[in-house]
Structure 1
Amino acid sequence: MQSTPKTNNVILVRPRIYLGKGLAIGPGKIDLLRAIAELKSIAAAARKLSIPYKRAWALIDSLNQGFGKPVVETTSGGKGGGGTSLTLLGQQLVEKYDALEIRLNAQATEELAAVRALAD
């Protein structure tokens, strides 16, 4: 999975997308999905992002409710141990968000430089 693009001395645009019905997707939810994909655990992802476990579940639940289907799959513990992974929808959300973020940053270099110059 692709991570957030990093650039030197350039402001990075991280969009928030409002899809109606109270559904919004932005950097926080996407970073959480990325961490879940990497760590295979909501609890570990929450720790990595320094957010409470309950807040992580609330963010996941808001996506599940907004899309009407789950963005993560959890498996119970047991002999092989439990875990969490992204559903196809969860994977697609991260992929599409990454593509949008990359395109916005690539297309807005002039505007980003102008904003950056205001801070210098």
Structure 2
Amino acid sequence: MTAVTASTPDTVATPRMALHLRMLLGEVTILGPGKAELLGHIQETGSISEAARRMDMSYQRAWRHVKVMNDLFPSPLVASSRGGAVRGGASLTEQGETVLKAYQALLGEVDAAVKKHQRTLLKLASKV
């Protein structure tokens, strides 16, 4: 995100709304837009590797995200088994499905609240 200062020309930036909802444990993000997207792809594909590919992310990075979520939630969100393309795979646990559904529901409610108030806020922030 580009920092906008008082000296930034009007033609460079116009006001817009952008919210990023994250769940933190200390300073560690245990759930946010990227991790939720990863969970959704794992749910759809049954594969951490394929989920990573869909997000243009390395398998190692995807696995680290899964490990953070599994380690820091009270119970794991993703169950995985080794074995390659034939026997391996991954799926959301019941806890993982519940967490993803709750996060998506919260995003829906936040989006509705933003839509309700954004016109007024953007108008107040605009020099037009």
TM interval, shorter chain, is 0.7 to 0.9
CA distance in 2: counterparts of 1:109 and 1:31, whole angstroms:
22
Q: 62, 65, 68: which one pairs with 2:68?
A: 62
If you compute each CA radius of gyration, which structure gives the higher value, 1 or 2?
2
For residues 1-120 of structure 1, the aligned pairs below 5 Å read: 13-20=19-26, 22-77=28-83, 81-114=87-120, 118=126
Identical-residue share of aligned pairs (%): 33
**Consecutive unaligned residues in structure 1, runs of 5 or more:** 1-9
CA distance in 1: counterparts of 2:62 and 2:94, whole angstroms:
19
The TM-score, its normalising length taken from structure 2, stands at 0.72
Considering Cα pairs closer than 8 Å and 6+ residues apart, tell me whether 1 or 2 has the greater RCO: 1
CA distance in 1: counterparts of 2:97 and 2:19, whole angstroms:
21
Deviation at 1:24, TM superposition (A): 2.9
Q: CA RMSD in A?
A: 2.8
The TM-score, its normalising length taken from structure 1, stands at 0.76
CA distance in 2: counterparts of 1:50 and 1:111, whole angstroms:
34
